Amino acid sequence: MLRALFWTSTALVAYTHAGYPALLWSLGRLGRLGRDDGPASRGAAREIASGRIEGDSAPVVSLIVAAHDEENVIAARVANALALDYPRERLEIIVASDGSDDRTVERARAAGADLVLDLPRAGKVNTQDRAVERTSADVLAFSDANSAWAPDALSRLVAALADPDVGYVCGWVRFRSAGGANQEGVYWRYENAVRALESRLAGITAGNGAIYAVRGSAYMRLDPRTSHDLSFPFNMVKRGLRAVYEPRARAEEAMAPTLEGEFRRKRRMMRHAWPTVLRGGMLRPQGYGPAYALEIVSHRLLRYASPALHLVALGASSALAARPRPFYTAILGAQIAVLAAAAAAPALDARAARTASPVVRFARLARYYVLVTAAPAAGLWDHLRDGTPTHWDRASGTR
């Protein structure tokens, strides 16, 4: 029984992190699923690449930025939006202030936003809904207040939505580091690779808040405790549309400077994710094809179950090592070594030279893995203990 528990939990952890991406790649190769978006999308992409999309040939787009106390970055966000390579007469920039107590509204207006909404505090999703009520654009694009988009990013998103089967598209985000021990860049390279494979197969299972767009007719209101990032992709699939990833639509954001800050950010995100997972319909398979159901189970359910799976593996290997069994003793030792390295990482970082040694780099990765793995459990604890509020608090050090 103990061996079955150990091998089952270990196999599921290995599958969700390594086996699943390999399976996606294999299915893509076997099915020859190289992405072909059809004549409409290819034509739009050619127009954009050649600079010929202009005037009435471009869909009307509203770029919406929900902001709470973002006076330090909102002017730069508006300036970046104004500099996008997209017909200005077809682009509306909306800043929706979610109960800001600082000069966010004043600075957004001074920076040249087309519409600035000064709304009472109601949370990000409610604020986005209020902004959508004020527009009838063909395409609704969304961005964080601290994001900076590449000049052609919006055009790339619009090109993806030229395919009538696509309802949602998210872009690629690079997290800018000012130094420190945060290993989020490693995680995002991995996550973006998986996202690209999912997009080619059946569609992505989650987006990001930095850069995404949705067809105006497909926009939907959500439980205000949740987010577009996690809820829009699977809901689009349930409605017969596709949710895709466009890596050429690029954005950049500052990352949390410390691992502890990154853990708090992911813990907060998971607190808002659990209402979607538990009661938002993600785990109800109605409307999914077999491939997308596989993606949801592999990338979402098993990933979020990783804290429990790790604990089962640790407990089972501890019991088996006590018998004693040399193989399981070695496995237990490896697990303890990773946990010890994670615990020692802050002290090692404090002593590290500017160029970290392999030992320090390993300790950083171990600590990052442990904290990221623990975040779903911590977020679930917060959700079950205190519920999930509608408002979001931004991560410190990212502005």
Domain segments of the chain as ranges: 38-256
pTM: 0.90
Distance CA 268, CA 66 (A): 18
d(CA 372, CA 260): 10
Q: Yes or no: say if 252 and 173 are a contact pair by the CB < 8 Å rule.
A: yes
Predicted pLDDT of residue 358: 86
Q: Which long-range contacts (CB under 8 A, 24 or more apart) does 337-346 make?
A: 338/366, 338/369, 338/370, 339/366, 339/370, 341/366, 341/367, 342/366, 342/367, 342/369, 342/370, 342/371, 343/367, 345/181, 345/259
> What's the CA gap between 265 and 218, in Å, rounded?
29
Q: Does domain 38-256 have CATH number 3.40.50.620?
A: no
Query: What averages of pLDDT result for each successive group of 10 residues across the chain (399 residues)?
Result: 96 98 92 44 42 69 98 98 97 98 97 98 97 97 97 97 97 77 70 96 96 98 96 98 98 87 93 96 96 98 98 97 91 96 87 73 92 97 96 71
* Confidence (pLDDT) at 54: 58
The one-letter code for the residue type at 395 is A
The first and second tokens of residue 295, run together, are 């993606």
Alpha-carbon distance values, 9 to 203, 305, 308, 370 (Å) = 27, 10, 9, 16
Q: Containing H/E element for 61?
A: strand 61-67
